[in-house]
Amino acid sequence: MIITDRKKLLNRILLIAAVIVFTVSLILLIINLIPDNEDYSDFKNSSDIEVELPDNPIDFAALKERNPDVIGWITVKDTDIDYPILQSGTDKAEDYYLKRDIDENWKKAGSIYTQRLNNDAFLDPNTVLYGHHLADKTMFTPLWDFRDKQTFEEHDTVYIYTPGHILTYKIFSAFKYDDRHILNSFDFSTKEGYGAFLEDCLNPKSLVKNVREGVSVTTDDRIITLSTCTNYAYYSDERYLVVAVLTDDTKTK
């Protein structure tokens, strides 16, 4: 009888020990399953970090109040090219701003503009901008100086400002071309069509050309083409093109 009681006591002790071991193991398992979120707050300057957007250097609210057709602003670094960009609405001709200023007054110098074939936010594979070549050296006349190798090498940046964005482009080619309508002559919706135009830019057939070495441009990139006449004194069936590839898109206030 005493032996039986001892066995019962021993069994109870073993059962209790087993329950304790099981409980401890279960607790340890649960603890290990809980994610260990480390606290990195000491490395933060503030618990609420917000990236402040830079100011846009162009007052588009004022410009659009003056003329809603303003879609951007172009600056070719270290040149006198520093103008608003216009795009006529459907109530006007495509080339409405060829000989009209920002206030829609007739002016031989016209404005820098793009046609409605292009997206007004510069999202197309190729956005073509037009500007006159003039005796007074205004508008796109400075592009003609890019025939000089040194000038071409020293001037490689174009800024396009749009509402909410600063687009930075790197000039990679400048050359004499024919007067074909680029957007109607190449199908930029296909890699084949876009690639054909890029081939003309990277390997111009003209003897008047400069191509920058070390700049990679593919059909996955977005470019702008600045187009002007080759002579201000008489009508010409030639154009001078300066082509640049998008390298940065900075959001602004």
CATH number for the domain harbouring residue 111: 2.40.260.10
Predicted confidence at residue 237, as pLDDT, reads: 87
Q: What is the pLDDT of residues 129-162, one digit of tens each?
A: 999 999 999 999 999 999 999 999 999 999 999 9
The answer to the question of residue 6 being in a domain is no
- Contacting residues for 61 by C-beta, under 8 A, at least 6 apart: none
Q: Is residue 30 part of a domain?
A: no
Cβ–Cβ under 8 Å, residues 85 and 183: no
Domain count, the chain: 1
Q: Where are the alpha helices (DSSP H) in 133-237?
A: 149-154, 182-185, 191-202
Quick one: pLDDT at residue 82? 98
Query: pTM for the complete prediction?
Result: 0.80
Q: With respect to residue 35, please indicate whether it lies within any of the assigned structural domains.
A: no
Residues in Cβ contact with 122 at an 8 Å cutoff, skipping those fewer than 6 apart: 72, 160, 162, 167, 222, 224
Cβ-count burial 111-123 (b if 16+ within 10 Å, e if not) = bbbbbeebebebe
For 77, the domain range is 60-251
User: Which residues sit opposite 209 in a β-bridge?
Assistant: 175
Has residue 15 been placed in a domain?
A: no
Q: Could you tell me if residue 38 is inside a domain?
A: no
Question: Which pLDDT band, with edges at 50, 70 and 90, does 236 fall under?
Answer: confident
129 in a domain, yes or no? Answer: yes
Biggest distance spanned by C-alpha atoms of the chain: 129
In a domain? residue 141: yes
- Residue 188, in any domain of the structure: yes
